[in-house]
Structure 1
Amino acid sequence: MSENTHTQKREAADSESKEDYVSSKKAKIESCAMGSDINGVKEPSFLIEADAAEDKGSRHTMEDAWVVLLDATLDYPGNLRCAHFAIYDGHGGRLAAEYAQKHLHRNVLSAGLPRELYDAKVTRRSILNGFLKTDESLLHESAEGGWQDGATAVCVWVLGQRVVVANIGDAKAVLARSTDGSRNFPDRVQALKAIVLTREHKPIFPLERARIQKSGGFVSPDGRLLGRLEVSRAFGDRQFKKVGVVATPDLYSFEVTNTEHFIILGCDGLWGVFGPSDAVDFVQKLLNEGLPVAIVSRRLVREAVRERRCKDNCTAIIIVFKHN
């Protein structure tokens, strides 16, 4: 992607501590008008503030990659608002994660992601085709380059008033939603429910195991594919594609109303030490203190790595819906 993708790795220190090695970036806040009408297309009645943070944990290398694009139109402009966020969790190396980071969203756009009016069927087809094209081209390039690593993915597109989530592997998206309408009562503490928007793809799960066995593979007693791979869907993993590993995502969509507050995207390292409700409560408390998303994302990752002893790479993106 271009320099506007804001996906470069950073090693900036947290301003609150010179010893904070969690990398993050300046908060990104959408600048489009709320509730306006442009060429007959009504703009959503909310803005988006989003940011990402990462830490390699106790690993020697960082194999995650991520994307934060508040304006994700690239070379495909249109009246329909398009934002894109993604985390790619690499395994066996970083090349597959970086490849998906660079190519997936553009492939989804070129496959026909709606740019004028939201269409659920067209959106679904373009995301599925974009995932397939990305994996096919990645496999071709990895064969030529002699590398075999893979990457899981959790991706979000905000199209107008709709959110579409796609995932492969064990990265997750969690939505924080009001349960009692407390957004309308600013003096009350909001009660937020954590809703997991994604389904993990593990070899031991029945549907995944059936596909693997049909392809001639097996799942070992510890739940790994051929005793080696912990996920059953991923980009790349060239040596496992013939035994049932696919890059077909699960998709979920919903319309943003005033009850949707924020989404947390995280690799499996984050969710290994945070439960969904625990993470929502942690983020909600900091947002209620008035902290910007840039600081909240860094504190979430710092809590995971330093306090809860996450030993894996840890990456998180927080997407906040700022309503009128």
Structure 2
Amino acid sequence: MDLFDDLPEPKQPPVSAALPPTREEEEEEEEEEEESLKRKQEHREEDDEDRGEIKKVCKEGFQHSPHNVWVPVLRGYVAARRGERDEMQDAHVLQPDMSGFLSAPPRHASRVSYFAVFDGHGGARASQFAAEHLHQNLGKKFPSGKAENVDALIRKCLVDTFRQTDEDFLKKASSQKPAWKDGSTATCMLAVDDVVYVANLGDSRAVLCRTEAPGGGAGHRKWMTLALSKEHNPTIYEERMRIQRAGGTVRDGRVLGVLEVSRSIGDGQYKRCGVISTPNLKRCQLTANDRFIILACDGLFKVFSADEAVKFVLGVLQEEGSKEEEGQRYDAACQRLATEAVRRGCADNVTVILVSVGFDRSSSVSQ
């Protein structure tokens, strides 16, 4: 069968294809190509000058210029409630300035911040270990070279950091008598200037509140909730398939009928069953319309949806707006959100980190 049966035959060849170009036409084409190359070279030189100006501005502290953005000011607030548990197994880290942990100052960033919440199970040792060591490992691996492929380098750095932290804890856990069986979820937020990377394992979550004015005008502002993390539990198809391929089983929504999450730090007895420490990664560019980010363990989200949590915080911020300074308002919103989760009947540990996002023109990078 001829695959081209349905195509009509051309009635006659185009004139331009049938006649060879004249010498005059060839000379005109050569002149046009030379002019085009000259224009491209001029544009490249202008771009190089612009890039040099951007690098100069970054080095001087991200002062305002047409070529760069304001570096957001991030401030973290935390609230922790034990709930009805006998032990607080959650842990958290607030590092608005990571410079002291970086092995070398990065050339591609003016400020690096880190916030994390860890929800332990089977004990508090895995969550405490991750809270102590993960950001230190991250600082050692953080890229400090040129910025051409910095996004890929940061992503690789986060994956490698999670793997190393997990391996280090498992090595320590297995050397104990009896061996530790603790595990922990992790939701970590790394902010590099105005770009946020969220790496998470398990069922702790991160959500961003972004506002927008209707029609781009002033007046009452609408808001939206953006998910910055992905839950890992054995009921998700991809997670269940990986566990089953590794020889594990999923019963009653749990690995081997026991473990509720399919990715974690620690849980050495389940690693042979397909439980891994490879985090989900999400990247988000912050804007002047962003208000705050909530990082919290599943204790909060058992009784709050993401939208409800964001709406609750916005309500407290508005309620406290006339009588408190900004820091006090955010701290009050964080404390009241965690307290409300317990009041609604959450028996689990509840840890909430509220990170305010501000683009303050008078702020300096050293803040």
Task: Answer whether TM exceeds 0.5 for this pair.
Answer: yes
Q: Which runs of 5+ in 2 are unaligned?
A: 1-55, 64-69, 322-327, 361-367
Letter of the aligned partner of 1:318 in structure 2? Answer: L
Letter of the aligned partner of 1:157 in structure 2? Answer: L
Aligned residues of 2:117 and 2:186 also touching (Cα < 8 A): yes
Aligned residues of 2:189 and 2:196 also touching (Cα < 8 A): yes
Deviation at 1:116, TM superposition (A): 7.4
TM-score (norm 2): 0.74
- Partner of 1:216, secondary structure, is coil
Counterpart position of 1:24: none
- Partner of 1:292, secondary structure, is helix
Counterpart position of 1:166: 199
Q: Which runs of 5+ in 1 are unaligned?
A: 1-35
The 1:182–1:299 alpha-carbon spacing in structure 2 relative to 1, beyond 3 Å, is farther
From 198, 203, 225, give the equivalent of 2:255: 225
Deviation at 1:260, TM superposition (A): 1.6
From 77, 82, 87, give the equivalent of 1:56: 82
From 168, 193, 208, give the equivalent of 2:239: 208
Letter of the aligned partner of 2:157 in structure 1? Answer: S
The 1:224–1:208 alpha-carbon spacing in structure 2 relative to 1, beyond 3 Å, is same
Deviation at 1:45, TM superposition (A): 3.8
Larger radius of gyration: 2
Q: Deviations over 1:23-62 (max 9, x none)?
A: xxxxxxxxxxxxx945256373421221111001011110
Relative to its length, the structure with more strand (as a share) is 1
The 1:169–1:114 alpha-carbon spacing in structure 2 relative to 1, beyond 3 Å, is farther
Q: Deviations over 1:286-308 (max 9, x none)?
A: 122325222211111011112x1
Letter of the aligned partner of 1:302 in structure 2? Answer: T
Relative to its length, the structure with more helix (as a share) is 2
Aligned residues of 2:101 and 2:140 also touching (Cα < 8 A): no
Aligned residues of 2:72 and 2:193 also touching (Cα < 8 A): no
Q: Deviations over 1:52-106 (max 9, x none)?
A: 1100101111000000111112242445311100000000000000000011111
Aligned residues of 2:92 and 2:117 also touching (Cα < 8 A): yes
Q: Deviations over 1:226-277 (max 9, x none)?
A: 0000000000001000000001000001111112211101100000001111
From 271, 278, 287, give the equivalent of 2:317: 287
From 354, 358, 363, give the equivalent of 1:318: 354
TM-score (norm 1): 0.83
CA distance in 2: counterparts of 1:189 and 1:153, whole angstroms? 36
CA distance in 1: counterparts of 2:216 and 2:88, whole angstroms? 38
- After superposing on structure 2, the runs of 4+ consecutive aligned residues of structure 1 that deviate more than 2 Å are 40-46, 77-80, 112-118, 179-185, 288-292
Letter of the aligned partner of 1:311 in structure 2? Answer: A
Aligned residues of 2:198 and 2:282 also touching (Cα < 8 A): yes
CA distance in 2: counterparts of 1:114 and 1:304, whole angstroms? 41
CA distance in 2: counterparts of 1:184 and 1:267, whole angstroms? 36
Aligned residues of 2:183 and 2:264 also touching (Cα < 8 A): yes
Aligned residues of 1:109 and 1:126 also touching (Cα < 8 A): no
Quote the sequence identity (%).
37
Letter of the aligned partner of 2:332 in structure 1? Answer: I
Counterpart position of 1:151: 184
Aligned residues of 1:80 and 1:115 also touching (Cα < 8 A): no
Q: How does 1:1-324 map to 2 (within 5 A)?
A: 37-40=57-60, 42=62, 44-76=70-102, 77-78=105-106, 79-114=109-144, 117=147, 119-145=150-176, 146-180=179-213, 185=218, 188-220=219-251, 222-288=252-318, 289-290=320-321, 291-306=328-343, 308-324=344-360
Deviation at 1:191, TM superposition (A): 1.4
The 1:214–1:58 alpha-carbon spacing in structure 2 relative to 1, beyond 3 Å, is same
Deviation at 1:190, TM superposition (A): 2.4
Letter of the aligned partner of 1:309 in structure 2? Answer: G
CA distance in 1: counterparts of 2:142 and 2:101, whole angstroms? 12
CA RMSD of aligned residues (A): 2.0
Q: Deviations over 1:7-29 (max 9, x none)?
A: xxxxxxxxxxxxxxxxxxxxxxx
CA distance in 2: counterparts of 1:238 and 1:165, whole angstroms? 24
The 1:235–1:254 alpha-carbon spacing in structure 2 relative to 1, beyond 3 Å, is same
Deviation at 1:181, TM superposition (A): 5.9
